Structure 1
């Protein structure tokens, strides 16, 4: 069964472009910026947008359409209240259609925003990644009542897409970390083998030599291993010291 409700081709095209960015391997920054730019383009009444993302134990603005949107994120994080901050910890999105209304649930936030920015309406959407709260998509309007219930519904769709995009970014980063780890392990193993052959020591002794050197030089173990490999290859070539040892035994 298909819906008779027509789909705005602008919306379809925007989601297609965002999907293309993700699957083309665009960097995280480009994807983040595309999300807020799409919100600005697609959501009626939206004049600005930002994306808060958790980095380690704090939230940072990963992308914004302008400095005002970024400043609003900073204000919310400073005072610890507002639609975007509450959206991260709550089950539903947070919508204040008119920040000039005295009945706002965020009096300190509203006072700062009205005094320091032209924004008069805001919506915050929680972003989830495998059940974990990882950030918020934030929409702002300079007009009281500018972000309507219709705006909020479309923003929720974009926020859902944003969660999928963050999932794709995390999966890509995890894959890159795994590849880096495998490369490092191969280099460490090769360095251990070269040290064993060069100094006639056991594998455990060779590894301990690498580890102690790493600690003494305050360098990562993989970097020390890489230096060992480069040093050995500069002296003996890619074959390592084994070839030299064999030649000596035939003398």
Structure 2
């Protein structure tokens, strides 16, 4: 359950160091920095607070929340990612663990954060039930992530682009989990639920791995556009167009990031 970024989730497996580098680099994009910092505010990160970052990936959020004085603990299902994160962030409390079975006692935490995680879970409701277990009364939970069905890509072939986006979404276990955050939180017994939407806009070559992943999705899924089946030639032309846009500074991809917060009664 590594904290996959918008450019690497569903992409071919990468070696630990390369995956770490790519994830850390994309998280420095202003469109992702803003909602991440906002999540700390909504979580109420304060000196001495014991907070967990579930699906911590590179441990970036753990380091940033520790910098705010919190006792931050990162948990990730990927042992490879935890090993790499420990190497880059010595001293950080990073543990291998499952979102459905966290290494905390009942009511031990004051804050629970999961960023770009719930779309990769088979049972988001079960994970949120576990979040409720480990949070103390009054504890805060924050969920953040993109809605994979609403990626916006400027293109000369809009019908083909729609097919590509939906094929990409079909690779994700729960592609619309982010739009369900509010109801998931309510159904899990949380209150004071709020939802914000932040839009990350990409106009440079840093988003080209997403283009490659979407193209691979089309090839694997046999997606169809308005005029029929999408062929390999269609996919190749679409990738070439997006690559050309990136080279000339005309690429435009917008990713809505949903940030939901709530309180454990």
Q: Which one has a larger percent helix, Structure 1 or Structure 2?
A: 1
Which protein is bigger by CA-based radius of gyration?
Answer: 1
Q: Normalising by structure 1, what TM-score? A: 0.30
Q: Which one has a larger percent strand, Structure 1 or Structure 2?
A: 2
Q: Normalising by structure 2, what TM-score? A: 0.29
